[in-house]
Chain A
C-alpha cells in the first residue's frame, strides 16, 4: 500500500489510484466515484455481500489521504449513538463540584452544556473535522438501520449540518466525502436515494477477478489464482442460496495457500468448501459429484 495521495481529478485517475492500492474497478464505478467527489454528493453503493463496497470507502480514504470515519448501522441506531450524546456522569459531577464550591448559584446552563461535555459520535466527528482534508464518512449497511434513522440522515447528507439544541447548528467547513453501502435487505427510501449518486456493484468478470486475486493475495501462484477464479465463476452459475462474493474468492485463495495446495483437486475443494459457501444446503448441493463436474469443466489451462 502506498501512502501518497492519488490524483483523483479524472475518472481515469481514480481508477489508477485505486489500482495502486490493490482495488481493481471498472470504468463505470470509477466514474461514479469521480462524480461523487466532483459534485460533492454522497455515493450509495449497492451490491451483493462481499463485492467490495466497504473496501471501496477504505481505499478512497487512503487515496485522498483522508481519515476514514465509519458508522456501522443497525436497527434502533439513534441520534445518541450516531451523532452526539451528552456526557451525563460528567455533567452530574460538574454540578456537584459547582455546589461544593458554592458556585452553583452563578452557574448557567452554558457551564454544563459546553462542548467539553459533548461526546462526538461518528457523524458529528465527520462534520467537525478540522484538519484540512475532509474525511471519508462510511455509513455501512444503511439497510440495517430503520427508517427513522434514514430520515435523520436526510439533513446531514443534503446540508452537511446537524443541530444540537443546546449549542446550535454545527455545519461542516469541509463537507466529508460520504459513501453509503447497502446489501438490499430492504429498499432504501427514495428520498435518501435522491440525495445520492448510485452505483450497483456487480460481480466482476473473470479477468478482473483474477487481477483482484493477484493484487490482494500476491503470494498466490498465478496458476492457482486462475483456477480458483474459474471455479468460483462456475460456482456462481450454479443455483445457490448465497453466491460466493469476491471476499470469499480471496479467502479461499488465502486458505488454499496456507494449506500448501498448488492445484485444485476434488479432495482439496471438498475440504475447503466451507470457505466459499456459507449455507449448509449449498455445501451439500455442491460437494462431491458436483465439485468434480465443475472441476472437469474447468480446463487446466487457458
Chain B
C-alpha cells in the first residue's frame, strides 16, 4: 500500500463533494443511491488507499451496490466518472470530474468547485423527490446501461403500431380489471405460514402469553391463551405471451396484476415473453399505470418476433423460479400455445415449471370457443402439466380464474387432456351486456372469440 495515498491530508469537504457527486452519477445510471451511502463512501475513502483504483472501486461497490443487477451499471459509471483520475494520483481524484460529465450541472468551467454544503442540499432534494421516470428502472432491469438507449425509431412501422396498441387501454378495460381485483382479493387462496398469532379460536397453546396473563394467580393456569398460524395469500407469478394477437389478453391481465399489487399485500411478479422472457415487475410498479404499461411495451424488443414458449419457460425456470416462487406460488400463463420452437422443449420446461410451483394455471383465449381442442403444438406439449386450463380475454372468464385462485377445483377445471372438453364457452347472454370494451375491436382477428350479435 502506498502510504502517501492513505495518510496524506485530504480536504474532507472536497472529498465529501466528490463522494456525493459520484453518488449522484450512480443515481443517474439507475442505482438506488441515497445520501447516507454517499456519506459512507466519503468515510470509506478516508480509510482505504485512494491512490489504488481497485480499492476505491471495491469500496464504492460495497457501499453503493445493493443487488447483483446493480453491478454492471456501477462499474460502467465508475469507469466513466473516475476515468483516468485515479491513475493520476490522489490529487486528481479531488479535481471535479463532475463538470465535464454532466455539463448542465452547477459546476461552470473555471468556477470554484461547488461547496460540499450545496451539494448536500441538492443531493438531499434528489433523495426526497420522486424518482424520475426513465432514469431508474430500465437499467436495473436490463443490467446494461446501453440497453436503455434503443431509440423508438428502431422499431419498424408495424411494430410501432403494435406497441401503441399495447399501451392503449380503454377506460372500460381499466375499470373492469380493477373491479376484478375487488372481487378476487378476499377470495385468494391462502397458505399457512410458520408464523403464529394469538387468536381465541387457535388450536395451539401460546405459552408465553398464557403465562403472562396468568401471573396474577401465581402461576395457576386459569385462562387459556391460544394461537394459530398466520395465513397469507400465495405469491402470484404472471407470464404473459405478448406476441401477435395475445397482447390484448395479456394487457388485461397485466392491468389486473397492477391493480392487485397496488391494493393488496399479495406478492406479484410479472413477465412477458415473445421470443425471449422479460421481467416487468418493477416497471409495473409505477404509480402512473398507463405510463407503466407504456414502459412495459418499451422494454420489450421482440414484438412480432414469433413465440418461443419453451425457451421462455426455460429462462424462467433457471433464472427466476427460485427467486420468485419458492414452490408455494401460483403461476398464471397467458398464451394461445402457438409456438415456433421445439414442442419437446415446451413439454420438458412446462413439467419443470409445474414442479416449481404450487399451481400452474393456463389462460388461453381460444379455450372459450366451443369444441376447442389443444392442437397447437406448444399447447399440446404443455397440456398434461397444467393444473387449470381456462378461457381468457373476458371478465367473465377472469372471474372463473378468480374461483380457481380461491382454491376451487370445480368439475370443469381438470388437469390434463380432460380439461379442454370441460371448459364451457361463456354464455352469450352473460357476455354481451357486460363487456363491450374488451371484445375484439378488429373483426378480422382470427383468434378472437366470435362477437355475439
Contact = CB atoms under 8 A, between A and B. Distances in A.
Interface in A176-225: 184-187, 190, 193-194, 197-200
Contacts of B40: 39, 41, 197
Given A27-B58, A146-B195, A185-B323, A88 B47 contact: no
A190 B48 contact: no
Contact of A185 (B62, B195, B322): B322
Interface stretch (A28-36, A55-63, A252-260): A28-36
B66 interface: yes
B44 A35 contact: yes
Given A31-B58, A35-B48, A198 B218 contact: no
Contacts of A46: 67-68
Contacts of B32: 190
A184 B326 CA distance: 11
A29 B57 CA distance: 11
Contacts of A148: 195
Given A46-B68, A146-B193, A86 B61 contact: no
B59 interface: yes
B185 to A, nearest CB: 19
Interface residues of A, number: 48
A12 interface: yes
B126 to A, nearest CB: 16
The DSSP consensus for interface residues of chain B is helix
Given A74-B194, A96-B219, A186-B323, A194 B36 contact: yes
Nearest to A41: B40
A198 B58 contact: no
B34 interface: yes
A262 interface: no
B318 A239 contact: yes
B268 to A, nearest CB: 13
Contact of A187 (B63, B67, B71): B67
The DSSP consensus for interface residues of chain A is helix
Contacts of A35: 44, 47-48, 59, 62-63
A219 to B, nearest CB: 34
B203 to A, nearest CB: 16
A198 B36 contact: no
Interface in A244-302: 281
A116 interface: no
A95 B63 contact: no
Given A43-B62, A146-B195, A200-B67, 15 more contacts: A12-B1, A27-B54, A31-B59, A32-B62, A39-B43, A78-B196, A91-B219, A92-B211, A146-B194, A184-B323, A186-B323, A190-B32, A194-B36, A194-B37, A199-B61
A88 B205 CA distance: 13
Contacts of A29: 58
B208 A36 contact: no
A32 B58 contact: yes
B84 interface: no
Instruction: Enumerate the 9 nearest inter-chain pairs by beta-carbon distance, A residue then B residue, closest first.
Output: A76-B194, A31-B58, A28-B58, A32-B62, A95-B219, A197-B62, A193-B66, A75-B194, A76-B195
A173 interface: no
A11 interface: yes
Interface string B26-48: 00000010101100100110011
Nearest to B67: A187
A7 interface: no
A39 B44 contact: yes
A34 to B, nearest CB: 8
B202 to A, nearest CB: 15
B195 A78 contact: yes
Contact of B211 (A75, A88, A104, A146): A88
Contact of A198 (B49, B62, B193): B62
A85 B208 contact: yes
B57 A91 contact: no
Contacts of A194: 34, 36-37, 66
A32 B55 CA distance: 9
Contacts of B334: none
14 contacts: A11-B55, A11-B58, A12-B1, A30-B58, A31-B48, A35-B59, A75-B193, A91-B211, A92-B211, A146-B195, A184-B68, A190-B32, A197-B63, A199-B62
B57 A99 contact: no
A133 B385 CA distance: 56
B207 interface: yes
Contacts of A163: none
